Amino acid sequence: MPADDSPTGLSQPLYLCVADELGQLIAQGQLAAGERLPSVRELSQRRGLSPTTALAALRALEQRGWVEARPQSGYYVRPKLRRLAEPATSRPPSAARPVTVGSIAARLLAASNEPGIIGFGAAIPEADWYPVATLQRLASQAARRHRLLIGEYSPFFGLPALRHQIARRYAELGIAVDDDEVVITNGCMEAINLALRTVAAPGAVIAVESPTYYGLLQLIEAQGMQALEIPTHARDGLSVEALATALTGPQGAQIRACVVTPAFCNPIGALMPEAAREALVALCRQHRIALIEDDVYGELDFAGQRPLPARYWDRSGNVLLCGSFSKSLAPGARIGWLLAGRHRDAVRMRKFTTSAGTALVYQHALSAYLETQAYPRHLVRLRRLCATNVARYIEAIERYFPAGTRVTRPSGGFVVWVELPRGTDTLALYERALFRRINFAPGPLFSASGRYRNCLRLNAGRQWTPDVDGALQALGRLVEAG
Ligand SMILES: Cc1ncc(COP(=O)(O)O)c(C=O)c1O
């Protein structure tokens, strides 16, 4: 089975792929300012390119302003205009509160479906970054072969073969999971929903990263729970010390769970260091609160070293691990999973009363896909695409956004969090941008306390094109105009 749907794995001309790779080396500092790039001859020999393609790649980089041509000498990396700082650690209020992000979220979701929008709003990569044709073929094969997929109920907790494949992938990380523990869900959202409702009741306080994924805030809102926002660092994620302080504070006894995305959280893309992940597991256990781990971005690390989920350090069954294929393989399939540790029986009961199963066709297709070596190969390509694109988006923000802007530098995933100069109102900016057919996710969506009004999240999973470049430039101008 082919790993990719196109020979290069990219839906753009070869010279642009080469320009992207060189651009990534520049963005990551491996080719420093003032350094000479390989000549046309060197580039074509090393990469097996025609001289015309090599020259086109260098010219594309020149057009982007990353390199300059020096007569008789070659192409050189231009000094960076500036490097924007990262946002500081967040400082949310120390009291929990009910959540009301539903109306902003509804507006955002509606706008992301409008035709002709340059969509930096929803966190989703290009469809052709996924092996769509292969999965389509596997899905139709499954539908043809297994007549009973339509004619009978699916197993309530998921297709055994798929549950086995998921358990096997965790085993490869050194995490022992029984196939039986895996409950297949309708995406990661259903997994988090089941986990939350299993360990907490309406009125309970749930500790979350600040900022955090708005879907989680909406779940907390829908359950009548309260969110306690915990300070979060742009690179290192949730502060375990701050959570410890909250647990011994006035509302400590009401905290029932902590929901965290240790690897490349949304919207800031931070990765908690290993020691912090381990300490978090120990802290939650010590205070007898459940740790709900959202691992939906875990496969998307740029360095190819998949971070260990917090569950790795769990010896007491206190971690409820939620995942899905939505970011890494097939967003439309809506296939996720929940490993609920010691809560597994309660979760099974809830799964039954919530959706009584998950449609089988894509479970078969994904299970067949996972049986081959196609998935690891696909991930190599997807990570490279994410890394290249994130670097280009950050570069464009540095070029086009006004002084005082800050930006995150995630090491995985495909979202970028931008802190704009004080006084910028991204809810107002959102309307102005939408008028120009540009969409993004305004900051307050990611907070229970209406914070981050001067912040926005950009989906960097859109393939780089002149339109994307133009839209980021236009957005920078709108910010500047205030
Ligand atoms: C952090 C996080 N968790 C969960 C989800 C939802 O995942 P799924 O589409 O599998 O339901 C998302 C989607 O954006 C997300 O960003």
Counting ligand 1 atoms within 8 A of each CB, the residue from 124, 189, 217, 220 with the most, and so the one to mutate, is: 189
Shortest-distance atom of ligand 1 to CA 124: 14
Query: Is 26 part of a structural domain of the chain?
Result: yes
pLDDT, mean over the chain: 91
Query: Higher model confidence: residue 159 or residue 150?
Result: 159
Mean pLDDT of 320-331: 97
CA 213 vs. chain centroid, Å, equals 10
Tell me, yes or no, whether 464 and 387 share the same domain. Answer: yes
Q: Do both 201 and 344 map to the same domain?
A: yes
Residue 453 sits in the same domain as residue 406: yes
User: How far is ligand 1, taken at its centre, from the CA of residue 195, in Å?
Assistant: 14
**pLDDT (average), residues 103-120:** 75
Domain membership flag for residue 444: yes
pLDDT (0 to 100) of residue 81: 62
Q: Would you say the CB of residue 24 lies under 6 angstroms from ligand 1?
A: no
Q: Is the CB of 261 under 6 A from ligand 1?
A: yes
User: Are 186 and 250 in the same domain?
Assistant: yes
Cβ of 123 less than 6 Å from ligand 1: yes
Q: How many CB atoms lie within 10 A of CB 432?
A: 13
Instruction: Please give the pLDDT value at position 11.
Output: 55
Domain boundary among 372, 399, 415: 372
Indicate if 331 and 407 belong to the same structural domain.
no
In three-state secondary structure terms, 293 is: strand
Q: Give residue 293 CA to ligand 1 midpoint distance, Å.
A: 12
Q: How confident is the model at residue 335 (pLDDT cuts 50, 70, 90)?
A: very high
pLDDT-derived band at 64, boundaries 50, 70, 90: low
| Token output for 427 | 């809810």
Indicate which CATH number applies to the domain containing 62. 1.10.10.10
Does residue 140 form part of some domain? no
CA distance 182 to 155: 12
Closest residue by CA, ligand 1 atom 14:
123
> Both 392 and 342 in a single domain?
no
Provide the residue range defining the domain that includes 23: 14-77
Q: What is the mean pLDDT of residues 310-328?
A: 98
Residues of the chain with pLDDT > 70: what percent? 96
- What pLDDT is attached to residue 192? 98
Q: Decide if 85 is inside a domain.
A: no
CA distances from residue 253 to 66, 250, 308, 318 in whole angstroms, order as listed: 54, 8, 29, 17
Of residues 26 and 376, more confidence is placed in 376
pLDDT of residue 112: 66
Choose one of 296, 358, 417 to mutate for the ligand 1 pocket test, by most ligand atoms within 8 angstroms of C-beta.
296
* Residue 387 banded pLDDT, cuts 50, 70, 90: very high
Q: Is 336 in the pocket of ligand 1 (CB under 6 A)?
A: yes
For residue 33, pLDDT beyond 90: no
Q: State the Cα–Cα distance between residues 361 and 138, nearest whole angstrom.
A: 9
Higher pLDDT, 475 or 109: 475
pLDDT digits (tens, 9 = 90+) for 41-62: 999 999 999 999 999 999 988 8
Asked whether the beta carbons of 236 and 272 are under 8 A apart, the reply is yes
Q: Is any ligand 1 atom within 6 A of the Cβ of residue 212? A: no
Do 193 and 299 have their domain in common? yes
Q: Is 328 in the pocket of ligand 1 (CB under 6 A)?
A: no
Q: What is the mean predicted confidence (pLDDT) over 229-257?
A: 97
Which ligand 1 atom is at minimum distance from the Cα of 189? Answer: 11
Q: Is residue 210 part of a domain?
A: yes
What pLDDT, on a 0 to 100 scale, did the predictor assign at position 413? 97
pLDDT in tens, 267-301: 999 999 999 999 999 999 999 999 999 999 999 99
Cα-to-centroid distance, 46 and ligand 1 (Å): 41
Which three-class secondary structure state does DSSP give residue 106?
Answer: helix
What residues are paired with 229 via a beta bridge?
208
**pLDDT single digits (tens) 343-355:** 999 999 999 989 9
With respect to residue 400, please indicate whether it lies within any of the assigned structural domains.
yes
Residue 231 makes CB contacts below 8 A (sequence gap 6+) with: 89, 90, 91, 92, 210, 239, 242
**What pLDDT shows up at residue 4?**
35
Please state the rounded mean pLDDT for residues 188-208. 98
Please indicate, yes or no, whether residues 121 and 155 belong to a single structural domain of this protein. Answer: no
Whether the per-residue pLDDT at 447 is higher than 60: the answer is: yes
Atom 13 (ligand 1) nearest CA: 123
- pLDDT confidence of residue 179: 97
- Same domain? For 362 and 381 the reply is no
6: confidence class by pLDDT, cuts 50, 70, 90: very low
Residues 37 and 51 in one domain: yes
User: What mean pLDDT comes out for the span 212-232?
Assistant: 96
Q: pLDDT at residue 107 above 80? A: no
Answer whether 461 contacts ligand 1 (Cβ < 6 A).
no
**pLDDT at res. 113:** 64
Strand partners, 206: 227, 257
**Co-location of 275 and 343 in the same domain:** yes
The CATH number of whichever domain residue 403 belongs to comes to 3.90.1150.10
- The span from the CA of 290 to the CA of 306, in Å, is 24
Domain boundary among 347, 372, 397: 372
Confidence of residue 12 (pLDDT cuts 50, 70, 90): low
Do 331 and 434 lie in one domain? The reply is no
Q: So what's the pLDDT on residue 10?
A: 42
Boundary of a domain, candidates 372, 397, 429 = 372
Establish if 133 belongs to a structural domain: no
- Least confident interval from 114-123, 206-215, 428-437: 114-123
Within-domain flag for 87 = no
| Number of compact structural domains in the chain | 3
- The CATH number of residue 334's host domain is 3.40.640.10
